[in-house]
Amino acid sequence: MSVRDRQSLAPMARGVGALYLAGVVLYILPTILHGNPPIEDAEATLRYVADRGLWRIAHLANIAAVVLWLVALALLVPMTATRRSLEHATLAVWGVAVSVFSVYFGIHAIGLSAVADQMVTGKADVAAILERAEALLLLLGSTAFVAQALLGTSIAMLGLFILKATDMNRVFGAIGIAAGLGWAIGAVAMNFAIIVPFTVLAWIWVGILGARLVVRGFVPRLRTEVGDTP
């Protein structure tokens, strides 16, 4: 790739990097606010949610974070020259993951906070409120690890895409793959002792990816040894 070609990619590459960085911030801060709700007790969970005035906004921000990552990938793909099959697979996995994750956190943001408001205001029978809360918690428990596994798989696919599609450090791409797979395996095993460290590693990795794109302003020299590009 010529210097001129690289320079022409600079504005969009910086924009992609900014989207990744914004997504990291929007993911981490709401996660900290989410904390560790007492999900084994429906009433305690509702009071926990009610005590956090930014609960709804925070979880909508979580959804915005993964949407920004998906948009960043969609903008990054045309800037690279790699196998179309890898591009399509990466975008497909991300699309599914963002959809499931958005439903999962949408229930947190809207459903759970609405029931918590009913508990605080006393606008419905307590028994009915707790029954709704227990149903929501069961639904959340059923989707939580699926959403996390899909998101981890998406990070792994992004790491593979970076490794194959650009001349960024291959070790960097491999770290992204490892972080995503660890996150996904932890979710499948339903083991937070595995999920948490690999999730943090994935955040750091995506943050470095975003910062690198912002600072360098272009995707490093693109690979041309591909088999099914036009």
pLDDT value of residue 1:
44
- Output the average pLDDT for the chain: 87
- Top pLDDT among 27 and 124 is at 27
Mean of the pLDDT values across residues 31-48? 86
pLDDT in tens, 1-11: 444 455 667 78
pLDDT value of residue 4:
44
Confidence of residue 144 (pLDDT cuts 50, 70, 90): very high
Domain residue limits, the chain: 3-216
pLDDT value of residue 220:
54
Mean of the pLDDT values across residues 123-145? 89
Percent of the chain with pLDDT over 70: 89
Q: Which range is least confidently modeled, 8-17, 128-137, 140-149?
A: 8-17
pLDDT value of residue 218:
59
pLDDT value of residue 138:
92
The listed range with the strongest mean pLDDT (3-17, 116-130, 144-158) is 144-158
pLDDT value of residue 224:
44
Residue 119 has pLDDT above 50, yes or no: yes
pLDDT in tens, 73-98: 999 988 877 778 899 999 999 999 99
Confidence of residue 225 (pLDDT cuts 50, 70, 90): very low
Residue 124 has pLDDT above 90, yes or no: no
- SS3 for the chain is CCHHHHHHHHHHHHHHHHHHHHHHHHHHHHHHHHCCCCCCCHHHHHHHHHCCCCHHHHHHHHHHHHHHHHHHHHHHHHHCCCCHHHHHHHHHHHHHHHHHHHHHHHHHHHHHHHHHHHHHHCCCCHHHHHHHHHHHHHHHHHHHHHHHHHHHHHHHHHHHHHHHHECCCHHHHHHHHHHHHHHHHHHHCCCHHHHHHHHHHHHHHHHHHHHHHHHHCCCCCECCCCCCCC
pLDDT value of residue 35:
80
The model's pTM is 0.88
Confidence of residue 180 (pLDDT cuts 50, 70, 90): very high
Confidence of residue 226 (pLDDT cuts 50, 70, 90): very low
